[in-house]
Amino acid sequence: MMRVIDIANIKLTSVNRKYMVARGRLILSPEYRDFKRTVGIVARKGRTFDGDIAVTIRHSSRLDIDNPCKAILDSLQEVGVYHNDKQIKRLVVENDFKNSGTLTVDIEEVSA
C-alpha cells in the first residue's frame, strides 16, 4: 500500500460546487479547480499504477462522505498516479465528520 496524499488543514470541496454559470455557460468553479490543483500538488507522483487498484480515502469534514471523492480521484488521474479511474476496482471512503480538514489517500494494487 502506498500513501499518495497526507494533508492537514485543507478545505475539502463538494461535488455540489463543481460547476458555476459564467456568461450563460457552465464552467468548473474556481473553488473546485483550486482544490484539484492543491491535491495534484501534494500527491506523491513517484509511481504510476498500471494495473487494477484499490483506493482508500479518509477525510475529516462535515461534507457527505462521498462529496469530495470525484475531485480527489480526478486530480490523481490528472497528475499521473494512475492512468484511468476505470482501474479502481475497490473504493473505501471514511469520514469522521469532525471538520478538522485532514485528507489521506492510500492506493494498492489488487489482483484482477
Q: How confident is the model at residue 15 (pLDDT cuts 50, 70, 90)?
A: confident
Displacement of CA 32 from its chain's centroid (Å): 11
Q: What percent of the chain has pLDDT over 70?
A: 99
pTM equals 0.90
DSSP assignment of 94-110, as one string? EE-------EEEEEEE-
103: pLDDT strictly greater than 80: yes
What tens digit of pLDDT does each residue of 17-71 get?
A: 899 999 999 999 999 999 989 988 999 777 899 999 999 999 999 999 999 999 9
Whole-angstrom distance, CA of residue 98 vs CA of residue 47: 31
CA distance 99 to 47: 30
